[in-house]
Structure 1
């Protein structure tokens, strides 16, 4: 993950927050269907140290933002979410390949936060 992560606290359910993430990370129909630069979603690879972590996320996903077929141009947005009972804590970070500046990923994170704010006016976030 590049720079400092974005931290979010929301009242939305885990399913709602994950669905908004999926929609916010999508690219245009043109890029997805014509140029092949669509978004794919994967489970992020773990660490050998995960087994000793005290606070593993309840949900994790990585959105790979297309680079028109060139792996070197792809960037990713990592999402880690914890269910804290009365609220959810979300951590977002940007990973990028050598030929990517992460501009698209940062724009997608802003879109995600904007949509969450509309759905949850009590939302709090930092890092962006």
Structure 2
């Protein structure tokens, strides 16, 4: 059974939330530059069923967390964000490959929530 997404409601702007996400998903300098196990950011692959969604996100990104060069060990954190005028709604989910348990991805999500709560102390979240 898949883990439910982490859902966040925040007063932080979309730009602030995206910047915090980028920083929170980064790995150590050593991992990124020496071992080649850095984080890359991509647009999530679309599904043919997405055209059926009535409430498409205003911003979506996927952080691929390095697996020391082995594709099978990589995991990903997906972020979908909606601008609701006075607040933003964010959904975070973990995608993982066969040999990845998603532990790194879950730690990165916790780091994102903690860092975003520093920007917006009124932040509310579920799913952690």
With structure 2 as the length reference, what TM-score do the two structures score?
Answer: 0.98
**Matching of residues 45-60 of structure 1 within 5 Å:** 45-60=45-60
Give the SS at the match of 1:125: strand
Q: Where does residue 44 of structure 1 map in the other structure?
A: 44
Distance 1:109 1:50 in 2: 24
**What is the alpha-carbon distance in structure 2 between the residues aligned to residue 53 and residue 8 of structure 1?**
20
Q: Distance in 1 between matches of 2:57 and 2:117?
A: 22
Structure 1 position 69 matched with structure 2 position 65: no
In the TM superposition, structure 1's runs of 4+ consecutive aligned residues that sit over 4 Å from their partners are none
**How far did residue 92 of structure 1 move?**
0.1
Aligned residue runs from structure 1 range 7-26, under 5 A: 7-26=7-26
Q: What do you get for the CA RMSD once the two structures are aligned?
A: 1.1
Cα distance per residue 1:76-123 (max 9 Å; x no partner):
000000000000000000000000010000000000000111110110
Q: What CA distance in whole angstroms lies between the structure 2 residues aligned with 1:37 and 1:74? A: 9
SS at match of 1:23: helix
Q: Deviations over 1:12-52 (max 9, x none)?
A: 00000000000000000000000000000000011111222
Which runs of no fewer than 5 residues in structure 2 stay unpaired?
none
